[in-house]
Amino acid sequence: MTTSVAHALWLRPPNDSAIIEQALPSLQEGELEVRTCFSAVSRGTETLVYTGAVPASEYARMRAPFQEGELPGPVKHGYANVGVVEAGPGEWLGRAVFCLYPHQTRYRVAADAVIALPDDVPPERAILAANMETAVNALWDAAPGVGDRITVIGAGVVGGLVASLCARLPGADIELVDIDPRKAGLGDALGVRFVTPAQASGARDLVIHASASEAGLAQALALAGFEATVLEMSWHGSREVRVPLGQAFHSQRLMLRSSQVGAVSPTHRARWDHRRRLILALSLLADARFDALIDAEAPFESLPEVMARLARPDDATLCQRIRYR
């Protein structure tokens, strides 16, 4: 059954949000009406928006695909939505789909804005698609090789996905590093070796940093071997970060480069677009091991309280799933 109204989460930086009722636009030919079943909160991007930590220089580049309002806010932000099509062309009715849409109970979009879930990917796990797309792009940027010694620093959602994908390379030696020893079980679930910073191996062929901390980046540079690449995946917003480019950085001839999902990696850009990359990301989520990354669920109505909790430095949630009625 279709309806003309929906409820959506609006962020009101700094450190405030509210669920707002809003009218839906008229359903146009070729469009779909989707009832949301699950969404996920991006711990990195959305909490930076929520706390007002997005630099003014990045307002345009940080725009979400279906964002309403303008940064710094109030703004409707988010991009991990899984729902069921309830109106539109007949071939879409009843299909579970993923869309880069914010937290909203239902919405109307063009059919080419959604991707049907593969039969072997449950909606509850498909919320990881945007994170998986980030991980895929990182591997394209980093170009890990067969037999490489690879370290991933930061056992969050993106770090866990990257480490698990790297572990599929024949002969590769993977270490997942985090300061929280309680995440050792996550390493086991994802099929990678978990270590604390004190236990991490050196002389690595590739180090991927995803901890969003100065200490993590410093260790990434320290663990890299001669002429190795350090890939920086963390986005620090408006916070200034000191990078230790003294010591062995020059003598080791290290390469430090960034990876960001907004543009397809130049290694694949000639043949891949965003849609093809997202389809690939969804297909990779057929692996049930990735369920270990989703460690919290809350009802849509509690999202303002959830956002306040996720923004706290002491909160240890990996992926926060939001459940809709």
| Helices 157-166 + 129-142 axis angle, to 10 | 50
Cis ω on the peptide bond leading into residue 72 (within 30° of 0)? Answer: yes
- On the 0-12 / 13-18 / 19+ scale of CB atoms within 10 A, 272 is middle
How high is the pLDDT of residue 267? 96
**Quick one: pLDDT at residue 1?**
56
What pLDDT is attached to residue 98?
98
Distance (Å, rounded) from C-alpha 74 to C-alpha 16? 9
pLDDT in tens, 195-218: 999 999 999 999 999 998 999 999
Output the pTM of the full model. 0.94
* Residues of the chain below pLDDT 70: 1-2
| Cα distances (angstroms) measured from residue 207 to each of 180, 184, 240, 267 | 19, 19, 22, 19
pLDDT digits (tens, 9 = 90+) for 57-116: 999 988 999 999 999 999 999 999 999 999 999 999 999 999 999 999 999 999 999 999
Q: What's the half-sphere exposure (Cβ side, CA atoms, 13 Å) at 208?
A: 34
Q: Are strands 204-209 and 149-153 parallel, antiparallel or unpaired?
A: parallel
Put residue 3 in one of left, alpha, beta given phi > 0 → left and psi -120 to 50 → alpha. beta
Contact 10, 76 (CB under 8 A): yes
- Expressed in angstroms, the distance from the first to the final Cα of the chain is 14
What is the per-residue pLDDT for 274? 96
